Amino acid sequence: MAALLTVENLSVTLPGPEGPLTIVDGVTYSVEPGTVFGVAGESGSGKTISALALLGLLPLGATVEGKALYDGRNLLALSKRELRDVRGREIAMVFQDPLTALHPMMSIGRQLSEHMRRHLGLSRQAARRRAGDLLGDVRIPDPAGALNAFPHQFSGGMRQRIAIAMALACEPKLLIADEPTTALDVTVQAGILRLLDDLRERMGLSVILITHDLGVMSSIAKTITVFYAGRVVEYGASSGVLRRPRHPYTRALLAALPHPETTGTAPLVSIPGSPPAAGRFPSGCSFHPRCAYAIESCTTDEPPLVERDGRRFACPVDPFRDAA
């Protein structure tokens, strides 16, 4: 199937107090239509910045290199005006905290219909009708009443549903969801994940799901990439990556999770040290100072992302090639 979005060699540099900092360093991936594509990694790994770069939402002074082909166009080369038509219309975004994404003093109906009128050229009444339908789509009880309500009148989970409805208003083909369930309770999280999966199935929506939670990833992502220090360290079908991780970092990340099935007596296997600060990545393989399998060349040579056994990973040592 032709990819909906192909990102090639994306790099992002942000200005820092002591010169430019490389936040994203040569990231390559592609998103198939109608699937959930997962981006996993700890804070500071560049997962959010790499997504913001696609929509031209980076802070001032940032430099972007590489290509992001969407529908035959390179998103990174579009003018501000062209990008404005893509943003919200073709590609929409949902953020971690729905309260900051919604305007506190504007009614839900007005927030939902404003950009529909701009992008779709709908009349006031038509936009309002569609806003009500959208709230129904994301399972808000009493959609008509909700149009006149304000964000503070809803719970966190309902606010995130409203933010998703707003993102879906112009029928985008791609939704970028950055930690959409991190601020929510597990019971509410389960509802949002089911909603995203349902929208994918009913409307053929593609989703780039950014999360540090590998459990969330496992439940809806078809393909996942694991970011570490601005680079992709592992990339493949989520069933394979999560069951048989090939990169030592992916493996360590999974081992650090409390497993619900195991009896809770053994200590968790934590990764020694902490992830490097954004822009201050170690030489060679960035993971080498924390890696139990590092050899001398890891400290100097940047490992390339190679494809082996239907998986891409960046580890020449490959200590888990025989692991079942």
Question: How big is the CA angle at 197 (ends 192 and 199), to the nearest 5 degrees?
Answer: 95
Residue 64 binds to other proteins (criterion: CB under 8 A): no
Q: What Å distances lie between residue 24 and 53, 228, 267, 274, CA to CA?
A: 10, 10, 33, 18
Q: Which of residues 203-222 bind other proteins (CB under 8 A)?
A: 212-220, 222
Nearest residue (CB) to other proteins, 106 versus 186: 186
Q: Per CB under 8 A, which of residues 129..158 are in contact with other proteins?
A: 155-158
Tell me whether residue 66 or residue 157 sits nearer to other proteins (CB atom): 157
User: Site for other proteins (CB under 8 A): which residue of 49, 252, 305, 315?
Assistant: 252
Output the six-digit token pair for 217: 């990833």
Binds other proteins (CB under 8 A): choice among 167, 253, 291, 315: 253
- Say whether residue 323 binds other proteins (CB under 8 A): no
Nearest CA to 95 out of 183, 185, 188 is that of 183
Q: What is the DSSP letter of 87?
A: B
Residues 13-46: b if buried by 16+ CB within 10 A, e if exposed:
bbeeeeeebbbbbbbbbebeebbbbbbbbbebbb
Helical pair 156-168 and 186-203, crossing angle rounded to 10 deg = 20
Q: Which is nearer to other proteins, 76 or 217 (CB)?
A: 217
Binding mask 258-297 for other proteins (x = CB under 8 A): xxx-xxx--xxxxx--xx----------------------
| Interface positions, 172-191, toward other proteins (CB under 8 A) | 185-191
Strand, coil or helix: 264: coil
* Interface with other proteins (CB under 8 A): 42-43, 155-158, 185-191, 193-194, 197, 212-220, 222, 238-243, 252-254, 256-260, 262-264, 267-271, 274-275
